[in-house]
Amino acid sequence: MITVTDRAAKEVARIIDEQKLSDATVLRVGVKGGGCSGFSYTLGFDDATSEVDQIFEINGVRVAVDPKSFLYLNGTQIDFEESLMGRGFKFGNPNAAKSCGCGESFSV
């Protein structure tokens, strides 16, 4: 399962509302090869899901993950942080053996 904190859910809802996205919109989470540690996180909005996607409803946010990415993301928590260094979504991935300093890529 993937979890979304209250802060992240509020930010996702704000973006969906601000961009006037449809009610069918899901937060699509995934991984792709690349980054300084081997894999990079992907995060975006999608109106379409597949029957093979893992779909979760957490804090009012529908999250979709393709099967390959789910192997690397199961147990991950998505948070949203604002600080002097910037603002953005953060991934807490228990499957990551190593991650880069910026937190945007990892290895298993």
Tell me phi and psi for residue 38, to 5 degrees. Answer: 120, -45
Residues 6+ apart with CB under 8 A from 94: 75, 76
Helix, strand or coil, per DSSP, at residue 1: coil
Q: How many domains does the chain have?
A: 1
pLDDT in tens, 3-50: 999 999 999 999 999 999 998 999 999 998 765 557 888 999 999 999
With contact defined as beta carbons under 8 Å apart, do 90 and 103 qualify? yes
The DSSP code for 17 is: H
Query: 27, 24, 15, 36: which is closest to 73 by C-alpha?
Result: 27
Q: What's the Cα-to-Cα distance from 3 to each of 34, 71, 83, 101, rounded to whole Å?
A: 24, 15, 22, 22
Residue 102: band (very low, low, confident or very high) from pLDDT cuts 50, 70, 90: very low
98 pLDDT above the threshold of 60: no
**Looking at residue 60, what is its pLDDT?**
87
**Looking at residue 55, what is its pLDDT?**
94
Residue 63: band (very low, low, confident or very high) from pLDDT cuts 50, 70, 90: very high
Domain of residue 32, CATH code: 2.60.300.12
Residue ranges making up the domain that contains 44: 3-107
